[in-house]
Amino acid sequence: MSGVRTMPVAVIIGMMGAGKTRVGKEVAHIMDLPFADADVEIEHEVGMGIPEFFERRGEQAFRKVEADLIADMLEDFDGIFSLGGGAPMTPSTQRALADYIARGGRVVYLDADPAEAMERANRGGGRPMLNGDADARWKKLYKERDPVFRKVANVRVHTRGQTPQMAARKVMDMIRERIVHVTGTGIEPYDVCIGEGTMNHLPDVLGEGVVRVALIHTQPVQRHSDHARTLLRQAGYTVSDIVVPDAEAGKTVDVANGVWRRLGDEGFTRSDAIVGLGGGAATDLAGFIAATWMRGIRYVNCPTSLLAMVDASTGGKTGINTEAGKNLVGSFYTPAGVLADMRTLATLPNDIFIEGLGEVAKSGFIMDPEILRILEDHASELRSFDGAMFLDSGLKDVVAELIEHTVGVKAYHVSADLKEAGLREFLNYGHTLGHAIEKLEHFRWRHGNAVAVGCVYAAELSHLLGYIDQDLVDYHRSLLGSLGLPTSWNNGSWSDVLALMHRDKKARGNKLRFVVLESVGHPIHLEDPPADAVEEAFRRIQQ
Ligand SMILES: NC(=O)c1ccc[n+]([C@@H]2O[C@H](COP(=O)([O-])OP(=O)(O)OC[C@H]3O[C@@H](n4cnc5c(N)ncnc54)[C@H](O)[C@@H]3O)[C@@H](O)[C@H]2O)c1
Ligand SMILES: O=C(O)C(=O)C[C@@H](O)[C@H](O)[C@H](O)COP(=O)(O)O
């Protein structure tokens, strides 16, 4: 073994005949990686074929050699590694795979159609585990192994009816996925899956108990909702397609009422589910419907805007706007999963992409300087985002990295403080003024743009009170400006702004509360700051 600790890019498991070797080789070929098959490695090591080894030494001896070899390869092989069908049944291998996953590994369960796999497994013979009535043996083994495979794998790929090339593409997309795990007190753990084709996981995330699915989406994302509907119908769900008014026009009590009526008319029960697909407005509404229908049913978010991917779809803040203000009615209600399918970004207009960078930068300011570095390094490419070119460009990896980091910041705060008793308020950096701007602009200003101005305002306030120096205020303006985000606003009176800031959810009684920075990555709560500083900071963002 070499001194440097390395590990496979992916480990492929599955039943005999699932295509582990064929598909694994194809994945390795496309990704330009080495491929190893545990059975072939074992044959080299023991100097004979597996049937002969079984016959001479028995299954127990074989499993011991197999487990030792797998343990070594999990520490020392940097490619695609396919395991024999029975390997994951050995407890020490299960532990080694769990450790590999904990180190960031991907254990892919290649879940083939039983008839196809059985037919392939029987071809050519040479499988000691299928001696006798091969079909009956295969079925028995499947019954024992399938639940274990599901447990030990963190990626499951269905290959029914697919050519090895198609299955390999699917595996590749899935092993390239980035997954952020959200957990914490009061949270049923769930994953945010980021990558190309993550929407394909919808049936797995919804699960088997669900019968009807309400697919809530807006018209501009029709192409993506068509795809989701097809996936859901293929998986056997009864799908109600619910198109809601676009953007903030969808986050109203009238729209919510219309959706509740549809759910009632179509017989939605507690075992049914909601899928929210679209920008943050659609996922906020869908989550709110899920939280309120029968006091809470399962929901999955499929965010399609950058902002929804990095922020709105995760964390369980659901809600609508009312006459009183933005997001003042809602609930904390956690999704069963979030599928951020980067393919959907191919149709995203440039201005809506840029808006999303407002929340990305906010997350950098409050916690993760790496986000700020990536934004600085790629500002001009990000600013020129073009959906039509995006998936074939190098920007794709940059954006995936930004999404993963930003969701990580969100998950950290949400995991520690789901109901926003303190720490989670830091995610609201820039929002006290931001929400007021949105309301005064009758929601024609985009959320992320308003948050960008709000961050500059918070920086000015922090500087006026002596927490940060002018350089950091200037940095806010230059970074946000370089991304194409606004840094000033001059379209409303101070008294209107102040009144709305008093309705912010962070306010207590007559006292305003803000989130400000002490330095990058160190936000603090600012309670009841002096009125003249609060107003002077506003004057400074008017220019
Ligand atoms: N719940 C939370 O934690 C949270 C966090 C941040 C923001 N939000 C909310 O999210 C909303 C803002 O989200 P947003 O910026 O996504 O705005 P949005 O939902 O209004 O979407 C912006 C526009 O882009 C369209 N769109 C989205 N994806 C598209 C795609 N792939 N192709 C083409 N068009 C697409 C939408 O239909 C809409 O017209 C606000 O209501 C904000 O309050 C909520
Ligand atoms: O998740 C949170 O908590 C946030 O504050 C994230 C914000 O970026 C987001 O805009 C959220 O919708 C604002 O929530 P609100 O409670 O201020 O309405």
Rounded Cα distance, 494 and 487, in Å? 17
- Ligand 1 centre to CA of 353 (Å) is 10
Residues of the chain with pLDDT below 50 are 1-3
CB-ligand 2 contact for 431 (6 Å cutoff): yes
What was the pLDDT predicted at 1? 38
Binding site listing for substrate: 39, 63, 85, 145
Report in angstroms the alpha-carbon separations of 12 from 148, 164, 198, 205.
Answer: 14, 14, 19, 21
What was the pLDDT predicted at 126? 62
What was the pLDDT predicted at 3? 47
Q: ipTM of this complex > 0.95? A: yes
Q: Which amino acid is at 446?
A: R
Binding site listing for Mg(2+): 21
Q: In this structure, which ligand is nearest to the CA of 420?
A: 2
- Best mutation site among 299, 302, 307, 386 for ligand 1 pocket (most ligand atoms within 8 Å of CB): 307
What was the pLDDT predicted at 128? 65
What was the pLDDT predicted at 124? 63
- Ligand 1 centre to CA of 313 (Å) is 9
What was the pLDDT predicted at 129? 65
Rounded Cα distance, 276 and 127, in Å? 46
Angle at 323 between CA 321 and CA 328, to 5 degrees: 40
Q: In this structure, which ligand is nearest to the CA of 307?
A: 1
Structure tokens at 479: 């970074």
Binding site listing for NAD(+): 246-251, 280-284, 304-305, 317, 326, 344-347
Residue with tokens 């009183």: 324
- Ligand 1 centre to CA of 160 (Å) is 35
Radius of gyration of the chain (CA): 26
Angle at 261 between CA 255 and CA 267, to 5 degrees: 140
User: Which residues 6+ apart lie within 8 Å of 520 measured at CB?
Assistant: 364, 365, 369, 372, 472
> What is the pTM (predicted TM-score) of this model?
0.87
- Ligand 1 centre to CA of 411 (Å) is 19
CB-ligand 2 contact for 169 (6 Å cutoff): no
Q: In this structure, which ligand is nearest to the CA of 413?
A: 2
What was the pLDDT predicted at 2? 41
What was the pLDDT predicted at 507? 94
Please report the sign of the dihedral spanned by the C-alpha atoms of residue 362, residue 363, residue 366, residue 371. Answer: negative
Q: Which domains does the chain have, with CATH numbers?
A: 10-175 (3.40.50.300), 178-348 (3.40.50.1970), 419-542 (1.20.1090.10)
For the chain, give the longest Cα–Cα distance: 88
Rounded to 5 degrees, φ, ψ at 244 are -110, 160
What was the pLDDT predicted at 538? 98
Angle at 514 between CA 510 and CA 515, to 5 degrees: 160
- Ligand 1 centre to CA of 446 (Å) is 9
- Best mutation site among 447, 449, 455, 485 for ligand 1 pocket (most ligand atoms within 8 Å of CB): 447
- Ligand 1 centre to CA of 188 (Å) is 25
CB-ligand 2 contact for 314 (6 Å cutoff): no
User: In this structure, which residue's CA is closest to atom 7 in ligand 2?
Assistant: 428
